[in-house]
Amino acid sequence: MSEQSLQKVIALVAEVLNVPAVKVNVGSSIETLQEWDSEAHMEICLAFEARFGAPLDMDTIGEVTSVRALADLLDKGKG
Amino acid sequence: MKTLLLSNINMKPLVAALRPMEVVSGEYGSLLLDLVNPQSVAAGADIDRVLCLHDSDGLLGDALYGEDTPDQCEALIAALDGYCARQPGKIVVSHTFCFSSARWLTYADPLQPQSLRTRETALNDRLLALAKRTPNLVLIDLEGIVRRHGEAALYSPAFWYAGRIRYTSLGFRELATAVQQALDAYGNKAKKVLVLDLDNTLWGGIAGETGPMDIALSEEGAGRCYRDFQRALKALTRTGVLLAICSKNNPGDVDEVFERNPMMILRRGDFASLRVNWEPKPQNIADIAQVLDLGLDSFVFLDDNPVERSLMATTCPEVTVPDFPAKPEELPGWFRNVIVPRYFGKYVISAEDRNKTEQYRANEVRHGLAQKLDLDSFLAELGIDCTLHVNEPELIARAAQMTQKTNQFNLTTRRYQIPDVKRFVESPDHAVILLDYKDKFGSEGIVGLAILDLTEGRFDTFLMSCRVIGRKVEDRIIAKAGELVRAHGGTKLIGELIPTRKNGLVASFFEDHGFAVVKAEPDGHKIYEKALA
């Protein structure tokens, strides 16, 4: 997971959840952040798709429930 | 202003797409319940607008697959009907039914009694009929959006099965744009004048160089792009938008195009004003604004030349200056799909709108006559013939439109929506007076409005279209108001002036008509009285 992708994902997650970016870090996930519930997760995935142009399939939407997983996915999309 | 979003699926991402509009989302799937339950969040006094954006397939349920099971589509129409009637002060936005294009009967579908296509058409006919008789229901044509972008681009199976989200981010964006534009159209926020360049805008090439017959304007290739653009412009004039020309050219060269080129769809008479000269365009557009008596903030300027656009945008920042497509083939579609809905969206088109250009052109002829005569003989020459309508339900939309659009001859500048005017019309203690103007040059249509509180004898609203200013027809409204107030047991009329940046024209209106000031606030707000004889 690259630092660049990590920062992009943190910015995106903070924006969608409407929380300060400092509240989101590499360890944040649907388990740790109160604002990141199942509805918010769909919005994060929609925003991810729109911003990075990477279509997500149904299984992936179910898997990328953490900042780390999203950043890894972003790296993979680039590779 | 607070907006509530209701659906039978997960539409939460639309809340972000609609920003800065303040939208709260109802409970998941609560659409029908919230509409019919008089105690629901949708009945709350803090809610001004309700967006009912349903998923048609979801409402149809198993009937989508040919099962003979009851569906909820009829229930939605009934729920919208009931809710709009119970909450006349709230604006409800919904859209047409649009089932997925997949048909379980495949090619037999249109011919079968269980046809989904037929069912969709029948439901939409009923929904449209409801919208026509329901002033606070605003309907969006969802099928139109789907036709333009396609299901593959708008709908996401991955998000649907992962989390009951039907639309892609493009889908949410398009839906948000449609909601915003429909609300703007409903609120009469449209621009009034479209000013056009000629060379490489209304036709291809430069008329002064090629001559009137060799410009690109035909039924083939690039020429057809410009001809289709002209067709779309012609259609726009039928919705009440005025066209004007602002072109750097020799007037003779342009005259020849209008007179000789048979491919021109637009004739001289389609333009309310023409400025063909070598003066700077910002100066010309200011002249046009003055002749038409309209503010520059209601103008849109289209020109293929980026230098002219930039000069206009910096010199006249009130004028809207969109970019111009780089290729002629993009011009007609760009104009129809982007420019018209964005700047010239209409929800109601009145009889006045259909003839607006003629009315403004007739005004120029009247101006000419006025210069030759003194005012009273001029007015006598005009053969003015006015009709007054009181509480006419057919004219509610026009009355609301006038309160939204009139700035100069407007004593109180109170803006009303259709449901507000409907309340005045139906109230026994109010009268809505409309003035229909005609003279020997033609009909101006409904150009004057007064909303009168009969109990107090007070003019809540008094406004006239700028087109008839100076023809003394406002006297007839005051006389009618006096008659109505007397019949209601009143002995005086009360006038009110709320000064704005734009209504200086009427600063002494009530004084000029024999009213006396009874109260004057430091901010210029005044109350007047006049005893009824």
The answer to whether the Cβ–Cβ distance between B16 and A43 falls below 8 Å is yes
pLDDT surpasses 90 at B218: yes
The answer to whether the Cβ–Cβ distance between B158 and A39 falls below 8 Å is no
Give pTM, 2 decimals: 0.72
ipTM of the complex: 0.89
C-alpha distances out from residue B27 to A46, B11, B30, B179, B303, Å: 20, 10, 5, 20, 48
pLDDT one-digit tens code per residue, B38-88:
899 999 999 999 999 999 999 998 888 888 888 899 999 999 999 999 999
- Provide the sign of the torsion angle of the four alpha carbons A35, A10, B174, B56, taken in this order: negative
The answer to whether the Cβ–Cβ distance between A42 and B169 falls below 8 Å is no
Predicted pLDDT at B457: 95
Looking at chain B, the whole-number percentage of residues with pLDDT higher than 70 is 97
Predicted pLDDT at B374: 64
Predicted pLDDT at B364: 58
Q: Does A36 touch chain B (CB under 8 A)?
A: no
Residues of A in Cβ contact (< 8 Å) with B13: 42-43, 46
pLDDT one-digit tens code per residue, B13-36:
999 999 999 999 998 888 999 999
Residues of A in Cβ contact (< 8 Å) with B10: 39, 42
pLDDT surpasses 60 at B371: no
C-alpha distances out from residue B484 to B428, B490, B528, Å: 12, 9, 18
Is cis: bond before B20, omega within 30 of 0?
yes
Rounded to an integer, what distance in angstroms lies between the CA atom of residue B210 and that of residue B212?
7
Instruction: Quote the tokens at residue A54.
Output: 């990477």
pLDDT one-digit tens code per residue, B309-337:
999 999 999 999 999 999 999 999 999 99
Q: Does B107 touch chain A (CB under 8 A)?
A: no
Q: What is the mean pLDDT of residues B106-129?
A: 91
Residues of A in Cβ contact (< 8 Å) with B23: none
Q: Domain map of chain B by residue range?
A: 3-186, 193-347, 382-531
Rounded to an integer, what distance in angstroms lies between the CA atom of residue B425 and that of residue B422?
5
Chain A closest-CA separation from residue B178 CA (Å): 19
CB of B304 closer than 8 Å to CB of B197 = yes
Choosing among A58, A63, A64, A73, which should be mutated to test the B contact, i.e. which has the most B CBs within 10 A? Answer: A58
Q: Mention the CATH class of domain B3-186.
A: alpha beta
pLDDT one-digit tens code per residue, A24-79:
999 999 999 999 999 899 999 999 999 998 889 999 999 999 999 999 999 987 53
pLDDT surpasses 70 at B365: no
Q: Does A37 touch chain B (CB under 8 A)?
A: no
- Residue A41 half-sphere exposure, CB side, CA atoms within 13 Å? 25
B382-531 has the same fold as B193-347: no
SS (H, E, C) B318-334: CCECCCCCCCHHHHHHH
Q: What is the mean pLDDT of residues B513-530?
A: 94
Q: Does domain B382-531 have CATH number 3.30.43.10?
A: no
A3-78 folds as 1.10.1200
The answer to whether the Cβ–Cβ distance between A58 and B158 falls below 8 Å is yes
- Residue B404 half-sphere exposure, CB side, CA atoms within 13 Å? 23
Closest residue in chain B to residue A49, using alpha carbons only: B169
Q: Does A30 touch chain B (CB under 8 A)?
A: no
Predicted pLDDT at A79: 39
Q: Which residue has the tokens 């203690």?
A: B429
Q: Which CATH number fits domain B193-347: 2.40.50.140, 3.40.50.1000, 3.40.50.300, 3.30.420.40?
A: 3.40.50.1000
Q: Which residue has the tokens 């209008």?
A: B258
SS (H, E, C) B466-513: HHHCCCCCHHHHHHHHHHHHHHCCCCEEEEEECCCCCCHHHCCHHHHC
Question: Nearest 5°: phi and psi at B213?
Answer: -95, -15
What residues have CB less than 8 Å from B281, skipping those under 6 apart? Answer: B246, B248, B301, B303, B308, B311, B312
Rounded to an integer, what distance in angstroms lies between the CA atom of residue B485 and that of residue B430?
10
